[in-house]
Amino acid sequence: MLPVDEIRLNFNPASLVILNVVLGFLMFGIALDTRAADFRRVLRMPWAMGVGIAAQFLVLPAVTFGLTLLLHVAPSIALGMILVACCPPGNVSNIVTHRAGGNVALSVSMTAISNALSIVLMPLNFAFWAGLHPTAAPLFRSIALDPAEMAGHIVAIIGIPFVLGIVCAEKLPRLTARIRKPARFLSFFCLIAFILGAVAGNWRYFLDYVGLVLLAVVLHDALAFLTGYLCARASGLQDYDRRAVSIEVGIRNAGLGLVLIFSFFGGLGGMAVVAGVWGFWDIIAGLVLASWWGRRPAAGTPAQVESQS
For 90-100, the pLDDT digits (tens) are: 767 878 888 89
**9 part of a folded domain:** no
Distance separating alpha carbons of residues 99 and 109, to the nearest angstrom:
17
State how many domains the chain has. 1
Cα 68 versus chain centre, distance: 18
Q: What are the distances in angstroms from CA 248 to CA 156, 163, 278?
A: 23, 21, 15
Query: Do residues 287 and 99 touch, judged by C-beta distance below 8 A?
Result: yes
Percent of the chain at pLDDT > 70 equals 79
164-180 confidence digits (pLDDT tens): 888 888 888 888 888 87
The radius of gyration computed from the CA coordinates of the chain, to the nearest angstrom, equals 19
**1 part of a folded domain:** no
**The predicted structure's pLDDT at residue 214:** 85
**The predicted structure's pLDDT at residue 195:** 66
Of 302 and 233, the structure prediction assigns the larger pLDDT to 233
What is the extent of the structural domain holding 149?
A: 14-294
**The predicted structure's pLDDT at residue 209:** 67
103-117 confidence digits (pLDDT tens): 888 888 888 888 888
10-26 confidence digits (pLDDT tens): 666 666 677 777 777 77
Of 57 and 45, the structure prediction assigns the larger pLDDT to 57
Distance separating alpha carbons of residues 191 and 96, to the nearest angstrom:
18
**306 part of a folded domain:** no
Q: What CATH number did the domain enclosing 270 receive?
A: 1.20.1530.20
Q: What residues contact residue 292 under an 8 Å CB cut-off, 6+ apart?
A: none
Average pLDDT value for residue range 255-278: 82
Q: 248, 226, 270: which is closest to 118 by C-alpha?
A: 248
**272 part of a folded domain:** yes
**The predicted structure's pLDDT at residue 7:** 62
Q: 252, 249, 237: which is closest to 298 by C-alpha?
A: 237
**The predicted structure's pLDDT at residue 235:** 94
Report residue 267's pLDDT band, with 50, 70 and 90 as the boundaries: confident
**The predicted structure's pLDDT at residue 200:** 66
**305 part of a folded domain:** no
Query: Do residues 140 and 72 touch, judged by C-beta distance below 8 A?
Result: no
Tell me the whole-structure pTM to 2 decimals: 0.82
Q: 289, 300, 301, 238: which is closest to 48 by C-alpha?
A: 238
Average pLDDT value for residue range 36-64: 85
Q: Is the pLDDT of residue 296 over 70?
A: yes
Q: Bridge-partner residues for 8, per DSSP?
A: 268
**The predicted structure's pLDDT at residue 248:** 94
Q: Report the half-sphere exposure of 37 (CA within 13 A, side-chain side).
A: 6
Of 273 and 187, the structure prediction assigns the larger pLDDT to 273
What is the sign of the dihedral through the CA atoms of 167, 172, 177 and 179?
negative
Q: Give SS3 for 3.
A: coil
**The predicted structure's pLDDT at residue 11:** 60
How is residue 268 annotated by DSSP?
B
**The predicted structure's pLDDT at residue 197:** 67
Percent of the chain at pLDDT > 90 equals 30
Distance separating alpha carbons of residues 169 and 154, to the nearest angstrom:
22
Cα 264 versus chain centre, distance: 18
Distance separating alpha carbons of residues 74 and 169, to the nearest angstrom:
44
Supply the mean pLDDT for the chain.
82
**121 part of a folded domain:** yes
**6 part of a folded domain:** no
**33 part of a folded domain:** yes
Report residue 37's pLDDT band, with 50, 70 and 90 as the boundaries: low
Report residue 309's pLDDT band, with 50, 70 and 90 as the boundaries: very low
